[in-house]
Amino acid sequence: MFERYTQSARRAIFFASYEASNYGSPCIETEHLLLGVLRESKGCIIWFPGQFNVGPDIRSEIEKRITRRDRIPTSSEFPLSDECKKVLKLAAETAERLAHLRIEPEHMLIGILRVEKSLAAQILIARGLKADPILERLAKDPDKRDYNSDAPSVLAILETFLSGLRSSNSEELLSFFAENAQFFDVAGKAWDRDEIATGFATLFAPYGKKNASYVIDAILANTSELFVATAHWKNALLASQQRGWMHRMSFVLIPEAKSWAILLVQVTAVLPMV
């Protein structure tokens, strides 16, 4: 479903899923999608009059108009609401109209505005946003955005991936991997991207456990062409095990599609924790 989406757009949906979890919603609504878009793309902020404190103001308005329920674990599945499905359909149509090969957060913002009866659209329209001016600007100057400044930092991308392992949601997290990515598990077996997709639950099960925690402990390279870092996982404990283990994850990320993608992950068992 998300093949045409840039990594930035996919992360916006990933964040929307987190927002649904946080507010106790069984599905992703347009307001969650809006929060995800604003969290992921600074480029979307430029469309707001004033451009100051946009994210907190939008969140505050949303919280006034919804009923917050008990938080739902992020390991749960959060389907898209009918309104959200319509938003994503309109985002795809917008990208096609502009002859853009990939769907960006800006297209999603236009899609939200066009589902005018949705809560997210009502909040945006009340703040003076309209779909047509954004569409016209993108049509006249599609390369206007400074992708280097709008894109999240590579460290933020890695942090998002690692924290997302707590939910083990393969559909969103798989998008963080480059097409030619490889994953070397703790036994030394190599997995390509297709194998990572089919074996995701098995590979990452230990890191979704409640007692698992991580820390990024070293950045070994940080250039415009390469990012290398290591992270330690502590107490990655499976139910069948009697004690936890420390694992070291070594990451190599490369620039891809105006963002960064994971090219290589190698997992090493460090030592048993009694």
For the chain, domains (ranges, CATH) are 7-146 (1.10.1780.10), 152-273 (3.10.450.50)
Which of 50-54, 64-68, 88-92, 260-264 is the least confident region? 50-54
DSSP string across 205-218: GGGGSTT-EEEEEE
* Tokens of residue 212, six digits: 């698992």
| pLDDT single digits (tens) 114-166 | 999 999 999 999 988 999 988 888 887 645 443 333 445 788 888 888 888 87
Query: What confidence category does residue 1 fall into, taking pLDDT thresholds of 50, 70 and 90?
Result: low
| pLDDT single digits (tens) 19-72 | 999 999 999 999 999 999 988 876 676 666 655 467 788 899 999 999 999 999
- For 217-254, b/e burial (b = at least 16 CB within 10 A) is eeeeeeeeeebbbbbbbbbbbeeeeeebbebbbbbbbb
Which of 1-5, 186-190, 225-229 is the least confident region? 1-5
Q: Compute the average pLDDT of residues 191-200.
A: 92
